[in-house]
Amino acid sequence: MKFIKVNNYEELSRTAANFISAQVIVKPNCVLGLATGSTPIGTYKQLIKWYQKGDIDFSNVISINLDEYIGLKGDNEQSYRYFMNTNFFNHINISKDNTFVPSGISEDFDKECEEYDKMIKSFGGIDLQLLGIGVDGHIGFNEPSDVFEKNTHVVTLHKSTIDANSRFFSSPEEVPTKAITMGMTSIMQAKKILLIANGKNKEEILNKALFGPITPKIPASLLQLHSDITVIYSEE
Ligand code: PGA
C-alpha cells in the first residue's frame, strides 16, 4: 500500500487527479470506477481544468459509479447520477452512453444488481477505482455488516451514513434510507485502487481500516489485501 499524506484539500485533489489522468493517458479506453461525496469534487474540478486546457481526452473512457440512492431518479438533484453529470460528465468529452451509475428506480432490483455486475464484467473489470471512505468505514455503500457483500446489492443505510449525508439534503428525513451499491468483489478486482480521505474526522477510521484487523465491521479494511492501492489523506 502506498500512503501519501498531503497538506491540504487542494493538494489531495491535484494528486488524485494526477493519478486519474495518468491512467487515462496510458490507456485512453480505460474503465474508471468513480465515486460521489464531497471528497472527490476537487479531483473532478481539477480534471475538468486539465480537459479544458486540452491535456486529457475522455472520449474513449468508460466510467462505472459505485452507488445510487434507492427511490431517486437520475434527474433528482440529490441523486448520484445528477451529481456525476453536474460535477463532472457535463464538463468533459466523455460519451454519456459510456457512463454507468446504478439505477435507483427499478421494478426488480435483483435483476438490476445482477445486470450491473454483468456489465462491469463485460468491460473486463475496472482499471482504476476511486474511493472515498465513510466515517463508519463504508466504501461505496458497503456498510458495516457481519459479512463482506460480494455483489452489487441493495443496502439499508446506517444512521451514521444518513446523518453524514444529511448535509446535502434540507432535513435528515429526506435522506433515502436505502441504496444500491457495487459489492466488494468488483471493487477488489479493480486493477488499481485510489482511496481519498479528507479531514481530521476521517483519521480514526482510516487508521482502523488500513492498519487494524480485516473485518466486515469495517468494509474498507478488506482493501488491505489489494495489491495496488494508493491512499491519499489530508488532515485539513
Ligand atoms: P464524503 O463521503 O466524501 O462526502 O466524506 C465519503 C463516503 O461516504 O464514501
pLDDT for the residue numbered 134: 96
Distance of alpha carbon 79 from alpha carbon 75, whole angstroms: 7
pLDDT for the residue numbered 196: 98
pTM: 0.97
Ligand 1 midpoint to CA 132 (Å): 5
Query: Is 153 a residue of the active site?
Result: no
pLDDT for the residue numbered 236: 84
Ligand 1 midpoint to CA 196 (Å): 9
The response to whether residue 137 sits with its C-beta less than 6 Å from ligand 1 reads no
pLDDT for the residue numbered 80: 98
Distance of alpha carbon 8 from alpha carbon 235, whole angstroms: 7
Distance of alpha carbon 69 from alpha carbon 137, whole angstroms: 18
Ligand 1 midpoint to CA 150 (Å): 21
pLDDT digits (tens, 9 = 90+) for 219-230: 999 999 999 999
**Average of per-residue pLDDT across 190-197:** 98
**Average of per-residue pLDDT across 95-105:** 98
Please work out, in degrees rounded to the nearest 5, the angle formed at the alpha carbon of residue 47 by the alpha carbons of 44 and 53: 145
pLDDT > 90? residue 70 = yes
H or E segment to which residue 195 belongs: strand 192-198
Nearest-atom number in ligand 1 for the CA of 131 is 9
Tell me what the pLDDT averaged over the chain comes to.
97
pLDDT > 90? residue 58 = yes
pLDDT for the residue numbered 18: 98
Nearest-atom number in ligand 1 for the CA of 139 is 9
Query: Is 11 a residue of the active site?
Result: no
Number of H helices, E strands in the chain: 7, 10
Query: Any residues with CB less than 8 A from the CB of 39 and at least 6 apart, and which?
Result: 12, 132, 196, 197, 198
Query: Is 146 a residue of the active site?
Result: no
Of residues 7 and 171, more confidently modeled: 7
pLDDT digits (tens, 9 = 90+) for 110-160: 999 999 999 999 999 999 999 999 999 999 999 999 999 999 999 999 999
pLDDT > 90? residue 98 = yes
Beta strands in 24-120 (DSSP E): 31-34, 62-65, 67-69, 99-100
**Average of per-residue pLDDT across 72-86:** 97
Q: 36, 84, 187, 233: which to mutate for ligand 1, most atoms within 8 A of CB?
A: 36
**What percent of the chain is modeled with pLDDT above 90?**
97
